[in-house]
Structure 1
C-alpha cells in the first residue's frame, strides 16, 4: 500500500522565535508560556496532518521558527551564530559560525521530548532533522582559511547519538534533509556525502534522505546511490527527472514524492503529475510514499483546497495503479539448490535401478 507521510508544517505557521533567542533568560514565566504555546501549535499541526491522511507525522520540524538555529542547539554548536538568508530554506535564519577547534555534543532534549509527546498521544512519528552536510554548508568559518568540511568527522558521532536515542524511543524512520543536493557541488563535498552516509549507515534507524526546495539534477546519481533506505524529493517537474528517478533508484529503496505549493500550474502540469503518479504506483507499489504540500501563510483558501483535492487524486491514482499490478512472487534463494538436489536424487535413483 502506498504510504502517506508528512513533511511538517510551514515555518511561517510557527511562533516562538524569541524562545530560542532567550533560552538563557532567567524569566521562567516567559519560558513556560512559550513552551506551552509551542505545545499547542504542534498539536494543531499534528491534527492537520492527521486530517490530510498522514500515517506518519513529522516531529522536529517545528524548530521554534528557525530550524537551523534549533539544530545548532541540538548538536551543541549555538555559541556563535549570525543572521543569513540560507539557501534551501524559506526566509532568514541564524546560521552557525564555526571555529577550527569546534566541538559538537548532544545539547538539547527538545527533539526527544517532542517524540515522547507525540507518542503519548498515540501518534506514529517520523523525526525530521537537518542533514550533516547541509548543516556544515550553511555555516560560516570564523577563520576564512579554515575549511568547515573538516568538522564532518567530529559532527557525525553526534548524529549517531541522536539515532540511538530515537531508536530507544521506538522510532523506526528518520528524515535527514539535505537541500544542498539540489545545488551544483564541489568535488570535495560530493565525496564527503559518500563518506558521511557510509558511516551513518552503521547507525540504527531507517533513513529517508530529503531533498526539498529544489530539483535533483546534477546530483541525482549521487543521491539515489547513497546507502539509505529511502529518498524524498519534491514532485519532479520534467519528464527527464521523473525517468531519471525511476532508472537510478535501487530496487530496495523507497521513493517519496512531496507535492509542492508552487507546482507547475494549469491542466498540463496536473496531467503530468497524474501520469507520473500512475507510473510510479505501478512500478514501486509499497515502496512509494506520498506527502501533501506544506502550505505557507501566503496560501489562500482556494489554493489550499485545490492542492488538497489534487493530492487526494494523486494518492488514489497511485494506489489503484499499485493494486492493479500483480506482485511478483518472492524469489526463494534455496529453490535452485533444491532443484539441483532433486535432479541429483533422480539421477542416483536411475543408476541404482540400472
Structure 2
C-alpha cells in the first residue's frame, strides 16, 4: 500500500546523476534505470531514439540550462537504438530487483525540438516519434519491466489545444502497449491540465507535492490508478502523505529524489505510516 521509488525530476534543476545499478535496494520498492537528468540526458535520448538532426544552442524552459536543440523538418527520421539501455535493464533484473525505466515523455521531448524551416510544425512528426517509443515499450514489456515512467514536464505549464491533443494522441497509442506507465507531470498549473492528466490512459500519475490542486487531483484520479508524490518541497510531508493516502483508499507512492538525506526522510516517513497501519491484537 506504500511504495517508494527513485525518480528523475526533469522539471527541476538537476542534481548529480545517480548510477541506478549501484543504488541501494533496502528502501526502494522499484529500482530506476534511465538517462541522467537534463543536459546529458537529453543527448542520450536523441541517441536512444536515433534522432540524427542538426542542432542549435537553446535554453531549457524547465531548468534554465543550455542544451543542444535538434532542428527538425519533414525529412527527419527516428530509429530506435535501445541496446545500451536494455543492457542496463538486464543488469538490474539480474540482481534481482524490480526495475522501473525512466524516460522523458515523447510530447515533452518533441517540445524541446525546433522547426528547421519557418512555418514548420514539429507536431507532424509525433507519429514517427511514437513508432520508436512504442517499439521500446514493447521490448521493455517483453523483459518483464515492472513500470516505465515517462516524464512530461510540459504538463507543468499552460498548454495550447494543439499540445493537449498531442498528449491525448501519444498516450492513447502508448496506453495500448501491455506495459504499465507512470506519467510524471510536475505541478499541474490549472484546471485544464488537471482534467487532462486524469483523462490520459496511464496506470499511474506522479505530481509535485506543492501542486495547488493536489487534494482535488487525489479525489478525481480514477481509483484504479496509482498516485505518486514528490515530497521534496512539502512543508509537512507526513501530514500531506496521510491526507492523500486517505483520499486514495490507503494506497500511495512516494518518489525519492537523489541523495542520502532524501532516502532517510522517506524511510522514516514510510515507517511512520506503517506504524499507523498496525493495530495491536486484543
Q: Is 1:233 equivalent to 2:207 in the alignment?
A: yes
> What SS class does the counterpart of residue 209 from structure 1 fall into?
strand
In the aligned structure 2, how far is the partner of 1:320 from the partner of 1:313? 11
In the aligned structure 2, how far is the partner of 1:102 from the partner of 1:222? 29
> What SS class does the counterpart of residue 196 from structure 2 fall into?
helix
Match of 2:266 in 1: 311
Match of 1:343 in 2: none
In the aligned structure 1, how far is the partner of 2:112 from the partner of 2:277? 39
In the aligned structure 1, how far is the partner of 2:58 from the partner of 2:162? 24
> What SS class does the counterpart of residue 103 from structure 1 fall into?
coil
With over 3 angstroms needed to count, the CA separation of the structure-2 counterparts of 1:123 and 1:322, relative to structure 1, is same
Superposition deviation, residue 253 in structure 1: 0.7
With over 3 angstroms needed to count, the CA separation of the structure-2 counterparts of 1:78 and 1:201, relative to structure 1, is same
> What SS class does the counterpart of residue 149 from structure 1 fall into?
helix
Superposition deviation, residue 90 in structure 1: 6.7
The correspondence for 2:17, drawn from 11, 14, 19, is 14
With over 3 angstroms needed to count, the CA separation of the structure-2 counterparts of 1:101 and 1:71, relative to structure 1, is same
In the aligned structure 2, how far is the partner of 1:108 from the partner of 1:64? 19
Runs of 4+ off more than 4 Å: 8-12, 320-324
Where do 1:160-199 residues align within 5 Å?
Answer: 160-199=134-173
Q: Deviations over 1:168-209 (max 9, x none)?
A: 111121001000000111111111211221111111200000
Superposition deviation, residue 322 in structure 1: 5.5
Answer yes or no: is the 8 Å Cα contact 2:30–2:98 preserved in 1.
Answer: yes
The correspondence for 1:250, drawn from 201, 222, 229, is 222
In the aligned structure 1, how far is the partner of 2:38 from the partner of 2:256? 22
The correspondence for 2:251, drawn from 287, 295, 299, is 287
The unaligned stretches of length 5 or more in structure 2 are none
Match of 1:204 in 2: 178
Match of 2:2 in 1: 2
Q: Deviations over 1:309-337 (max 9, x none)?
A: 5433432344455667xxxxxxxxxxxxx
Q: Deviations over 1:5-58 (max 9, x none)?
A: 11149954239xxxxxxxxxxxxxxxxxxxxxxxxx4444x23xx35x111111
The correspondence for 1:98, drawn from 72, 78, 81, is 72
With over 3 angstroms needed to count, the CA separation of the structure-2 counterparts of 1:323 and 1:229, relative to structure 1, is farther
> What SS class does the counterpart of residue 78 from structure 2 fall into?
coil
Answer yes or no: is the 8 Å Cα contact 1:282–1:322 preserved in 2.
Answer: no
In the aligned structure 2, how far is the partner of 1:64 from the partner of 1:251? 32
In the aligned structure 1, how far is the partner of 2:276 from the partner of 2:114? 47
The correspondence for 2:122, drawn from 129, 148, 170, is 148
Q: Computing the radius of gyration over CA atoms, which structure comes out larger, 1 or 2? A: 1
Superposition deviation, residue 233 in structure 1: 1.1
Match of 2:189 in 1: 217
Please, what is the CA RMSD of the aligned residues? Answer: 2.5
TM-score (norm 1): 0.71
TM-score (norm 2): 0.87
Superposition deviation, residue 164 in structure 1: 0.9
Answer yes or no: is the 8 Å Cα contact 2:100–2:147 preserved in 1.
Answer: yes
The unaligned stretches of length 5 or more in structure 1 are 16-40, 296-303, 325-354
In the aligned structure 2, how far is the partner of 1:180 from the partner of 1:277? 25
Superposition deviation, residue 117 in structure 1: 1.6
> What SS class does the counterpart of residue 5 from structure 1 fall into?
strand
Superposition deviation, residue 244 in structure 1: 1.6
